[in-house]
Structure 1
Amino acid sequence: MSVRYTPVGWNANKIVYDALLVAAIVAYVLVFIWAAERPGGAPPYDDATIRMRAFGSCAFLMLSVVLAIGPLARLDRRFLPLLYNRRHFGVATCIVALTHASYALGWYFAFSAHDPYAALLSSNTSYARLAGFPFEIFGLAALIILLALAVTSHDFWLSFMTAPVWKALHMSVYAAYTLVVAHVAFGALLAPVLQPLQIVVPACALGVAVLHVLAARQEPASLEREGWVVVGAPDRIAEGRAIVVPVEGGESVAIFRHEGRLSAIANACAHQNGPLGEGRIVDGCITCPWHGFQYRPEDGCSPPPFTEKVATYNLRLENGLVLLDPRPNARGQRVEPLFVAEARA
């Protein structure tokens, strides 16, 4: 949380995260270059094709990890720390992908009589058939999306575009991933000789899809009683934690337990629509797992001097079951926490 915009809000966690990320990228590229087969016995530092493939495969693996972090964190809270700097991971992925593209342009079109970009788009126009389809167009489209996401990743653009619009734009990362898979499927995967990439790419794509399906199935089902949603027994909720309850309109509500009392607030953080229900209570405040934005459980307001607010919801206890009114209160409206029995360990 900040009262002004800074290029990067550095702290020890981010420095360590980024240092490990850069080290992993460098190590992967060096190992790939060292291990790859070099046509004609060319040394690795003189083979642009291998460098191009090293950065391309690295970008694909990084994008796969970026898309896997969300569902992994929903399935197992131990992955939540990876969410904290996922934007840094995404920007790094874009830089690696851009490096791959620069090697591709430099290797295949540097000596073209036309502009390299014009040559890229005009060298293969077999769009009417699958065999020989110009796979480059998929990679270019994916790169444009990744560039747009990287450029708009800063909080300034979030504030300027509003959270719903910003979130909708950044959901296009799934389109970018689909385009990258198509780029590889119509390109490297068609190589006549079996390569590791021909196994890794389908496995990663399938893994990302399976993780999202499993995470979606984790959403708790809810019944309705006289317009109120039946959440279940209070002991479903651990002290300092929450459960997430879906309501009409595609929204969801996070119900937190704090000092033996329950409070319900909108699950979307006012910062970037982060999943508040996956966070925990720190120093008496609900803390978003993405970037640490905090809200008081009883009124959904950030502690001073911050001004962010989220909607609150009413709860009641009936026959030993917690009921949720799916109609939101105004943002920042105080609701008296619901007292329940002692929290489970």
Structure 2
Amino acid sequence: MSVQYTPVIWNRNKMVYDAILLVAVALYLYIFIRVGPFHEDVTRPIDGAILRMRAFGSCAFLMLTVILCIGPLARLDRRFLPLLYNRRHFGVMTAGIAAVHANYVLGWYFNFSPTDSYVALLSSNTSYGQVIGFPFEAFGIAALLILFVLAATSHDFWLSFLGAPIWKALHMFIYAAYAFVVLHVALGALQGPSDPIFTGMVAASVVMVCGLHFASGRLEANREKGDATAKASLEEAGWVVAGEVDEIDDKCAKVVTLSEEERVAIFKYDGKLSAVTNVCAHQNGPLGEGKVLWGCITCPWHGYQYNLADGRAPAPFTEKIATYKLKLVGSTVLLDPNALPPGTYVEPVVIGGAS
């Protein structure tokens, strides 16, 4: 591979996640195929191939629904985060289940066609100008193609190769796939004999997906509003906006100029932030141009080092530098411009936690 990436190692959590997923899918299919027919109110038993077709199709639809609910649920309640971490496995399995559904469709409806089954599928109904009788198969094909692309690019190699922005934008097409599946079902299966259970399932899916995304969007909007209020309050109290946390490279610093003679180096390390004067106590070297080495700020001029939280040189050295207070509001870093006495301990700000 031409792109370097760090593979995600299999661990117990991932194995348990996949095992539960496999058991749930197998149990659903078993109940649908083996138990469901005994509760069907029909005069003629449903053919086994049609039953399997419906089982895998409805299973894929439910799995896609759950996938789209995991994100907003994790934002609403952090206890759902374990479901989010391995969601890509969920997506790959969904694509596989959807492919089995499509295979049963081709096998049942076009297996004995003199025309190639794929050609027959696309040419058997071309009434694109009407709603009733619309070739709903096109929506199913589009959704399946999207799921295949997302499953094929779910590996960490593609995340590294494409880059996070492009990879994320590509995988946002999962929403288009869901919309296509809903249209595929609404114009297909729901146009047949009345099935209140399946109709209710589709309606509940749409309401749940839309409702959870709306709720999480409101939560994010309120959170951003609260962050903006807190940021404005701190600025009124004299704090200085130092920038966004993503602007600072790990184990490096961003230098903030407070005046012609006063500059502050804000270091990011181990998921935390600390701020010290930019001036080394040895020969006024620019600390902000140095890096965090062996857990200490290291001056690029002569290698003098200081502890990140208190600005003290490690023993037996006695040099000390001024430290500063920081706050993190959302992703914005705010700096108290009032320097503390050299060697004063300041609790580091945890990124993603309370400041």
TM-score range, shorter chain: 0.5 to 0.7
Q: Among 34, 45, 70, which residue is 1:41 paired with? A: 45
Show the counterpart of 2:332: 324
Q: Equivalences for 1:133-144 in 2 at 5 Å?
A: 133-144=134-145
Show the counterpart of 1:88: 89
Paired with 2:272 and 2:88, the residues of 1 have a C-alpha distance of 27
Show the counterpart of 1:98: 99
Aligned: 1:128 with 2:129: yes
Aligned: 1:298 with 2:301: no
Paired with 2:330 and 2:21, the residues of 1 have a C-alpha distance of 43
- Change in Cα spacing, 1:168 to 1:80, as seen in structure 2 (3 Å) is same
Give structure 1 stretches of 5+ with no counterpart.
234-251, 254-263, 267-285, 287-293, 305-313, 327-335
Q: List per-residue Cα deviations over 1:225-269 (Å, max 9, x = no partner).
A: 9xx971768xxxxxxxxxxxxxxxxxx96xxxxxxxxxx457xxx
2:5–2:160 contact (8 Å) kept in structure 1: no
1:315–1:323 contact (8 Å) kept in structure 2: no
Report SS of the residue matched to 2:224.
coil
2:73–2:212 contact (8 Å) kept in structure 1: yes
Show the counterpart of 1:210: 211
Paired with 1:323 and 1:150, the residues of 2 have a C-alpha distance of 31
Show the counterpart of 2:194: 193
2:273–2:348 contact (8 Å) kept in structure 1: no
State TM-score, norm by structure 2: 0.65
Paired with 2:11 and 2:199, the residues of 1 have a C-alpha distance of 39
Query: Alpha-carbon deviation of 1:191?
Result: 1.9
Aligned: 1:61 with 2:36: no
Paired with 1:205 and 1:52, the residues of 2 have a C-alpha distance of 22
Query: Alpha-carbon deviation of 1:295?
Result: 5.0
Higher relative contact order (CA 8 A, sep 6+): 1
Show the counterpart of 1:162: 163
Show the counterpart of 1:14: 14
For 1:40, the aligned partner's letter is R
Show the counterpart of 1:221: 224
Paired with 2:143 and 2:330, the residues of 1 have a C-alpha distance of 46
Paired with 1:156 and 1:231, the residues of 2 have a C-alpha distance of 42
- Change in Cα spacing, 1:40 to 1:12, as seen in structure 2 (3 Å) is same
Paired with 2:82 and 2:272, the residues of 1 have a C-alpha distance of 22
1:59–1:94 contact (8 Å) kept in structure 2: yes
Query: Alpha-carbon deviation of 1:194?
Result: 2.6
Show the counterpart of 1:25: 25
Paired with 1:51 and 1:189, the residues of 2 have a C-alpha distance of 17
Query: Alpha-carbon deviation of 1:17?
Result: 0.8
Query: Alpha-carbon deviation of 1:193?
Result: 2.2
Report SS of the residue matched to 2:130.
coil
Paired with 1:181 and 1:29, the residues of 2 have a C-alpha distance of 20
For 2:36, the aligned partner's letter is A
For 2:161, the aligned partner's letter is F
* Greater Cα radius of gyration, structure 1 or 2: 2
Give structure 2 stretches of 5+ with no counterpart.
235-242, 248-267, 275-290, 295-323, 335-344
Report SS of the residue matched to 2:272.
coil
Query: Alpha-carbon deviation of 1:160?
Result: 0.9
State TM-score, norm by structure 1: 0.66
Paired with 1:204 and 1:218, the residues of 2 have a C-alpha distance of 21
Query: Alpha-carbon deviation of 1:296?
Result: 2.5
Query: Alpha-carbon deviation of 1:221?
Result: 3.2
- Change in Cα spacing, 1:145 to 1:39, as seen in structure 2 (3 Å) is farther
Give the fraction of aligned pairs with identical amino acids, expressed as a percent.
Answer: 50
Instruction: Give the CA RMSD over aligned residues.
Output: 3.8
Query: Alpha-carbon deviation of 1:298?
Result: 2.5
Q: List per-residue Cα deviations over 1:53-78 (Å, max 9, x = no partner).
A: 00000000000000000000111111
Paired with 1:63 and 1:324, the residues of 2 have a C-alpha distance of 35
- Change in Cα spacing, 1:87 to 1:194, as seen in structure 2 (3 Å) is same
Q: Where in structure 1 do 4 or more consecutive aligned residues deviate above 6 Å?
A: 301-304, 336-340
- Change in Cα spacing, 1:48 to 1:322, as seen in structure 2 (3 Å) is closer
Report SS of the residue matched to 1:298.
strand
Query: Alpha-carbon deviation of 1:35?
Result: 0.6
For 1:23, the aligned partner's letter is V
Paired with 1:322 and 1:204, the residues of 2 have a C-alpha distance of 32
Paired with 1:15 and 1:224, the residues of 2 have a C-alpha distance of 38
Paired with 1:231 and 1:72, the residues of 2 have a C-alpha distance of 30
- Change in Cα spacing, 1:223 to 1:29, as seen in structure 2 (3 Å) is closer
Work out the number of aligned pairs and report it.
262
Report SS of the residue matched to 1:157.
helix
